Every structure is written in C-alpha cells, then in structure tokens.
Amino acid sequence: MHRSRFIGIGSYLPPRVVTNDDLAEMMDTSDEWIKTRSGISERRWVEPDVTTTDLGLKAADAALDSAGLDRSDIDMIVFATLSPDHEFPGNACFLQAKLDLPGIPAIDVRQQCTGFVYATSIADAMIRAGNASTVLVVGAEIHSKGLDLTTRGRDVSVLFGDGAGAAVMQATEVSDPAVDSHVLSTHLHADGAFAEALWLPAPGMAYEKFSTSAQLEAGLQYPQMDGRAVFVNAVTRMPEAVEEALAANDLTADDIDVFVFHQANMRIIEAAAHRLGAPADKIVNTIDHTANTTAATLPICLDEAAKSGRLEAGMLVAAAAFGSGFTWGSMIIRW
C-alpha cells in the first residue's frame, strides 16, 4: 500500500509566559474563573516583532531535525493558520521564502482549530496520489496581538495562546498495517450554518470598504464567540468524529494507545473522553500551559507526547479537533 506517514514532529512556544493573574491585571477576570471554566493556568505570547511564520519556521526546523532531513528534502508546504502574517498571500508562501525553497507548491489552510486535521488530510491525499513525497505540514498561530484585552473581550481573550507545531509527512510502502507507521484515515466535516458562532467579522469584503473606522469603533476586529454554542457542538462532534474513524478502520477505543483532542477547554476534552471511554492516562493534554493555540494545538500535543516518551513508534494515535466554521474532523495514525 502506498501511504503517508509522520517521520518528524516539532513545536515551538514563544518564551514569554502570561499567567491568569497577569490577565487579571488587564481585565475583570480571575485565576479561579479561568482555571475552573477552562483548565488553563498560563499561555505564551510573542514579542511585538515576531510573526506567525517566524513561529512556524522554528517548528518546521524542529520537525526536520526530528526527521533527520534537510529543508531541501521538502517538496510541498501546507500551512494551517487563522492568524496569517498578511491578508494575502498566504503564510505557506512567506514560510517558503524563509525556508529558501523556491518552486515547490505552498498551500494555506484556513480551517481554524481543525486546521491541522485538514492540512494533514491534504498532505496525505497528495502523497497517496503521487503528487508529493515529503510534505511539511505546519500549524502556527499568534492570538495575543489580535485579542480584546479589556473586560469586553474576556470571554475569548483568556482562552487563547500563541505557538506553533509542525510535522514532516513522507510517502511509505506499508506491508504490515499492524506494525508499519502510516496514516490510516482522516475524516473531515464542516457546517457553515454556524460560521458566525465563532468568527472575526472585520476587516473584509462583506463591507462597503475592506477596512473602515466604523468596524474598529464597533470592535469587529476582535474574535466574537457564542461560547455555549461552541461548547455544546464540540462535546458532540469531536467524539463523533473519532467514533466514525474507529468504525472506518474496524477499531475500538481500546485499540488506541494515545488520544489527542483539540485543546480548547478541559471540560470539553473530559466530556469527549468520557463518551469514548478513553482513560485519562491515554490522553495527552497541554491546555494548562498553552491555552488554545488553534491550528498549532495538535502538533504541539504530538510533539510534547513524543518528547515525554508517551508516544512511541508503532503506537495507534486518534486525534480530533473542533472549531470555528464550524469545522471538525479526526485522524488515526500508526506512529
């Protein structure tokens, strides 16, 4: 079987730690509220001169190191982010220039918290089709520069952090699926009826002008969220996507060695795990120290799991995400 596999994983968190108490000095919130409602203790924020592709580059180099490859071995870049350096072109192009890899295809994925699942699915499909052999898949985000750090924005601002993760995926010939490292499946979903339940309204071409002072006055440049709608859908859709993946591969939750869920809220993760019957010792969480890093979340989790020895070659990984769009999906990987 001609398949793709993960051969390298890496991540990068900017050094500046921002605690819940630090946020309580900027807005009306508390360490107790944030910890109880979300499981978050702290998050990382970039310095003002750092860009999302700077974070992506560090994660990419770490992933290449772990794969034992050079930059020149990459023949495609897929970059998932909701916080690009510029409106256009996409971050994959800016990262490509930083990597000095002219000529290879560079694709941006704008699927927010599910971005890394979509990006992996695209890389997997391109490899299986024979259109690429070694793909760099990056998820990177800077939230801190775009949050409303006043009490008006507290329901969103306390939940997000900056960071990046990256994977190197490569073509492989699988002879024994029970042993050989490969991506078993990806399942993708979306429901645009909920697009405005978690979104960044402006700037945009939906207005008479792309960018107006009226947008700024109304605070439309900040993310807006119907937290309850997101919560209710996330606790259903994430486990549903894992169940779909297990059924498609003729597996049960007991067969899975490591579960990685999108890190948006510890209560969502616990509810998803409960529905699947996934024991706590099989679940990798980073939310306490990263908060929600949207598209960077899953590769950061995978990297931290690999570095701590919880994720080893041959293990079966089930990963799932849910977020703005709404988008959601899952993947099963033999590591």
Helix, strand, coil percentages, rounded to 5, for the chain? 40, 25, 35
Distance CA 113, CA 295 (A): 5
Pairwise CA distance, residues 308 & 20, whole Å:
26
* CB contact set of 318 (below 8 Å; sequence gap of 6+): 242, 245, 246, 253, 256, 258, 259, 260, 330, 331, 332
Does the footprint of ligand UT7 cover residue 290 (CB under 6 A)?
no
Decide: is 37 part of the binding site for ligand UT7 (CB under 6 A).
Answer: yes
Q: Return the number of the residue (84 or 325) whose C-beta is nearest ligand UT7.
A: 325
In a 13 Å sphere around the CA of 317, the CA atoms on its Cβ side amount to 28
Residue 323 lies near ligand UT7 (rule: CB under 6 A) = yes
Q: Retrieve residue 98's tokens.
A: 């930083």
Q: Is 182 a catalytic residue?
A: no
Q: Which of these ranges, 63-71, 154-162, 173-181, 253-261, lies near ligand UT7 under the rule CB under 6 A?
A: 154-162
Q: Which of 38, 51, 83, 330 binds ligand UT7 (CB under 6 A)?
A: 38
Out of 16, 33, 149, 190, the residue judged to bind ligand UT7 by CB under 6 A: 33
Shortest CB 45 distance to ligand UT7, Å: 16
Closest CA relative to residue 128, chosen from 76, 73, 173, 166: 173
Q: Counting contacts by CB under 6 A, is residue 300 touching ligand UT7? A: no
CB nearer ligand UT7, residue 13 or residue 82: 82
Active site residue 93: no
Query: Does the active-site annotation cover 249?
Result: no
Kindly state the smallest distance separating residue 199's Cβ from ligand UT7, in Å. 11
Question: Which H or E run includes 284?
Answer: strand 283-284
Residues 98-137 that bind ligand UT7 (CB under 6 A): 113
Cβ-closest position to ligand UT7: 227
How many residues touch ligand UT7 (CB under 6 A)? 19
- 160: three-class secondary structure by DSSP: strand
If binding is defined by CB under 6 A, does position 158 make contact with ligand UT7? yes
- Give the whole-angstrom CA distance, residue 110 versus residue 122: 12
Question: Of the listed pieces 2-10, 170-178, 181-189, 259-267, which binds ligand UT7 according to CB under 6 A?
Answer: 259-267
| Site track 54-93 with ligand UT7 (rule: CB under 6 A), x = hit | ----------------------------------------
Binding segment for ligand UT7 among 33-41, 100-108, 171-179, 186-194 (CB under 6 A)?
33-41
Both structure tokens of 238: 């994430």
Instruction: State in angstroms the smallest separation of the CB of 1 from ligand UT7.
Output: 33
CB-wise, 74 or 331, nearer to ligand UT7?
Answer: 331
Beta strands in 146-213 (DSSP E): 163-173, 182-190, 198-199
Residue 153 touches ligand UT7, criterion: CB under 6 A: no
> What is the rounded CA–CA span in Å between residue 160 and residue 82?
12
Looking at the DSSP bridge assignments, the partners of residue 43 are 18
Residue 148 sits in the site that holds ligand UT7 (CB under 6 A): no
Q: Is 8 in the site for ligand UT7 (CB under 6 A)?
A: no
Q: Could you tell me where the DSSP H helices lie in the chain?
A: 20-24, 31-38, 52-67, 91-99, 115-128, 154-157, 213-218, 227-248, 266-276, 287-290, 297-307
- Residue numbers at the binding site for ligand UT7 (CB under 6 A): 29, 33, 37-38, 113, 154-155, 158, 227-228, 230-231, 234, 262, 264-265, 268, 292, 323
Task: List, by residue number, the catalytic residues.
Answer: 113, 262, 292
